[in-house]
Amino acid sequence: MTWSEMQPLLSQASWDTLYMVGWSTLIAIVGGLPLGVLLVLTDRGGLLQNVVANKVIGQVVNIARSLPFIILMVALMSFTRLITGTTIGRDAAIVPLAIGAIPFFARLVETAVREVDHGLVEAVQAMGGNTWTIVRKVLVPEALPSLISSATTTVVALIGYSAMAGTVGAGGLGDIAIRYGYQRFETGLMWVTVAVLAVVIALIQFAGDAGARALHRRGGRGGPAPRLRLLKAKEPDTATATDAAGIRRTA
């Protein structure tokens, strides 16, 4: 296969991947952020302490996280059809991607928000602030650098998930790598795909780190979250789109 043959395939696939990952990230943030904050607030000693609610949310999140994505995708097919009217194509892939990423991001949000110094919460309580004020003015802004790191991790994980979504006809880079690289023995195209993925992930990671660091610099407390550094060290794994299980573990 020559470059001129690969090029249109690759650009369409890249676009499909970005489209799926972009929308599902957005939905994951919108859904996961409140869920993660709720996990902290309802916990024992939290501002909205509610052990039952906490256990229920925690269990739902755990179950959703423990399902391998490819199974979640299949399990959600009827739900996907209900929402998008189809189970094939990139729009249909957004549904399981987003649902898979919400609990993933929620757990990261929980960790990030839990790290906010309780003294700050107390200070705002002493000023007469209510719980909503504390969430809006303390927990989220103070956790923002960590939240950006968490979002970056989520995007990288979603790129991995999206490769699996390729197997049900969603398109994207993972789909190309499997159909051409694996099934048609187009090893050249597969390596190009891997390279494109590596570059995309490196760029996303770089942007996320830079954002988190910029916010941290003014905050001045500690460096970027250790989680991110760990991920960086394992980046070669992440880049191999076909090694889907590997991505899940790293992410």
Residues that bind other proteins (CB under 8 A): 47-49, 117, 119-120, 122-131, 133, 137-138, 141-142, 144, 215, 218-221
Give the shortest CB-49-to-other proteins separation in angstroms. Answer: 6
Closest approach, Cβ 111 to other proteins, in A, equals 18
Question: Is the separation of the CB atoms in 243 and 251 below 8 Å?
Answer: no
Type of residue found at 185: F
Q: How far is residue 211's CA from residue 205's CA, in Å, rounded to a whole number?
A: 10
Q: Contact 98/23 with Cβ under 8 angstroms?
A: yes
Q: Are 194 and 241 in contact (CB under 8 A)?
A: yes
Least distance (Å) from other proteins to the CB of residue 138?
A: 7
Shortest distance, position 124 Cβ to other proteins, whole Å: 7
Length of the chain in terms of residues written: 251
- Is the CB of 11 or the CB of 133 nearer to other proteins? 133
CB-based burial label for 108 (10 Å; 0-12, 13-18, 19+): buried
Rg, C-alpha atoms of the chain: 20
Residues 6+ apart with CB under 8 A from 78: none
Q: How many CB atoms lie within 10 A of CB 21?
A: 28
CA 165 to chain centre: 15
| 140 Cα distance to chain centroid | 18
Supply the minimum distance, in Å, between the C-beta of residue 139 and other proteins: 11
Rounded to a whole number of angstroms, the minimum distance from the CB of residue 50 to other proteins is 10
| 41 versus 231: smaller Cβ distance to other proteins | 41
